[in-house]
Amino acid sequence: MRPRVVCGIAAAVALFATACGSGGGGGRSTDATAQAAPTGGYPVKVADCTGRETTIAKAPQKIVTSNAASLEMLLQLGAGDRVVGTGFPPGKGTLPAALAEQGARVPALGDKTIPKEKLLGSGADLYVDTFGAMPMMGGGATGPSEEELAAAGIQHVFLLSTACAGTPKAAKAPRTDLAGVEDDLRRLGAVTGTAARAEELVTGMEQRIGEVRTALSGVPEAQRPGYFVFDFDAGTKQPTAVCGRQVANAVITLAGARNVFADCDADFKPGSWEDVVAKNPDWIQLAVRNRGSEEATRKAFDDAEAFLRSFPATQGLKAVQEGHFVRLGSEVTTIAGVRNADAVRQIAATIHPDLVKNGQ
């Protein structure tokens, strides 16, 4: 049996496994793309984090997802009607409004990791895994072996942009683009027979990001403001550093900022307030989880800001003194998906308001 991990900001563990890209910081990784038959369609070959290939002979009809990150991708692709179960089900307000009703109808096979017996007995023919073969954070949870999945008739595919974080195969360079996320959309599109929709989603992401890139083309690297993602829901005793291998580093970079913890060689890393003070960021993102209503989420943002303004260690930070806060949820920033492109634009519009308009 192979252990699984939920990588990511501590408070988000109950919702998602977060990202480390197959594509690293630079160009697109060829390992991340699905190889379809020459004429399109099936069979489709996809690789896991170690390069082991799985051949999908026909369109899956019953899909189980490991958590809400992979579930959202499938909903975006139009394959949500084939999802028969998920782990780490999305909380209220987590999914985009247009997908919330359909997402809520997907049975939760586990509040967190799906128990092995439930997964094997789910009747699924495909398991989309957002986790990697690493020790489970804070516990010894294990999943079925490849042999057990095969015996149950379940094929096993991964989202490389989320599953490979922290593995020996993970790219060491900081992530500075969303190529890995786009490749995962294409992979899932090929696997589920929704390749045209995948290309449409990727094209939309590239268009939104391209508009921001063009608008910021005149901003020199040296003038990009320092940026810190403050995960209020992880607790305030010890901050968590969002490092260079996390998808949020790409979001921040594309938005024209400089992640102050980009140099830590991980996806996430426990930090200290002394570390944050030493970095003295120009902007701080109040990365709270969606509370399910606008009023409750706004209160969470208010509480996060109030903490930074009252906490002795952070009162004197440049961003706090100048009121440079970005109110943007943790899900769209640290979870690989279509909405990363929207996060790029929202951050850019906040820190570069003269150059980028939100919704442009």
Q: What is the pLDDT of residues 8-56, one digit of tens each?
A: 333 333 333 333 332 333 334 434 456 665 556 899 999 888 888 999 9
DSSP single-letter state for residue 105: T
Report pLDDT for 38: 53
Residue of 95, 124, 78, 53 lying closest to 335 (CA atoms): 95
Residues of the chain with pLDDT under 50: 1-32, 134-140
Residue 2: strand pairing partners: 143
Q: Cα Rg for the chain, rounded, in angstroms?
A: 20
Pairwise CA distance, residues 342 & 272, whole Å: 30
Q: How far apart are CA 140 and CA 146, in angstroms?
A: 18
In this structure, the number of other CB atoms found within 10 A of the CB of residue 335 comes to: 30
DSSP 200-227: HHHHHHHHHHHHHHHHTTTS-GGGPPEE
What is the DSSP-derived secondary structure letter of residue 135? P
pLDDT of residue 141: 52
What letter represents residue 242's amino acid? Answer: V
Question: Residue 210 has what pLDDT?
Answer: 97
C-alpha 233: how far from chain center: 16
Helix (H) or strand (E) holding 63, with range, is: strand 63-65
Residues 300-320: pLDDT tens digits? Answer: 999 999 999 999 999 999 999
pLDDT, residue 37, reads 57
Q: Which of 119, 103, 113 is nearest to 16 (CA)?
A: 113
Count CB neighbours of 270 within 10 A: 12
Let me know the angle formed at the C-alpha of 77 by 296 and 107, rounded to the nearest 5 degrees. 60
